[in-house]
């Protein structure tokens, strides 16, 4: 997660950071799928743990008090994704892994469609907000 708080990240918007987090999780999940098919269990577990950590960061970045119903529903989706990834790891279930990829791909697409989320706004405060949520 420290990568996402580097000085370059101070130049991007919160929406861009969210898209990059989705991209990172999806990349780990694709590689985990490859490792699962190749029956390389240790590598698969490490990649799934990284994806789960990113999903946890996405969840912690939500403001459940002021985000209303949307924030609660997103949080529930993130919990579902984490749960399915744990099941995928335990059962070697490509279906569970693929269902998480589908959910994250759709959410990433939604964030990427809104140009106002891609404009930098008060980058230092955004970084600080995200850094505080990482603790």
- pLDDT, position 113: 87
- Establish if 82 belongs to a structural domain: yes
Residue 62 falls inside a structural domain:
yes
The pLDDT tens digits along the chain (135 residues) read: 455 445 555 566 777 888 999 999 999 999 999 999 999 999 999 999 999 999 999 999 899 899 889 999 999 999 999 999 999 999 999 999 999 999 999 999 998 887 666 555 444 333 334 444 443
Could you tell me if residue 37 is inside a domain?
A: yes
Task: Give pLDDT, residue 39.
Answer: 93
Domain membership of residue 57 (yes or no) is yes
Instruction: Tell me whether residue 4 is in a domain.
Output: no
Note the pLDDT of residue 121.
47
Residue 128 has a pLDDT of 36
Residue 80 has a CB neighbour count (10 Å cut-off) of 14
Number of domains in the chain: 1
The answer for 92, left when phi > 0, alpha when psi is -120 to 50, beta otherwise, is left
The answer to whether the CB of 62 falls within 8 A of the CB of 74 is yes
Q: Which domain holds residue 44?
A: 13-117
pTM of the entire structure? 0.78
SS3 121: coil
CATH number at residue 104: 1.20.120.340
Q: Are the C-beta atoms of 50 and 85 separated by less than 8 Å?
A: no
**Residue 133 forms part of a structural domain:** no
Residue 117's pLDDT is 60
| pLDDT of 40 | 93
């Amino acid at each position: 997660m420290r990568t996402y708080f580097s000085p370059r990240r101070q130049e991007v918007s919160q929406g861009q950071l969210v898209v990059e987090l989705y991209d990172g999780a999806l990349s780990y999940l694709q590689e985990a799928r490859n490792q699962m098919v190749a029956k390389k269990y240790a590598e698969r577990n490490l990649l799934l743990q990284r994806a789960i950590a990113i999903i946890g960061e996405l969840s912690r970045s939500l403001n459940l008090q002021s985000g209303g119903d949307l924030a609660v529903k997103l949080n529930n989706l993130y919990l579902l994704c984490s749960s399915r990834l744990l099941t995928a790891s335990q059962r070697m279930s490509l279906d569970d892994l693929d269902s998480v990829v589908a959910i994250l791909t759709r959410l990433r697409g939604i964030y990427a469609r809104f140009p106002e989320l891609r404009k930098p706004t008060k980058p230092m405060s955004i970084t600080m907000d995200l850094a505080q949520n990482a603790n």
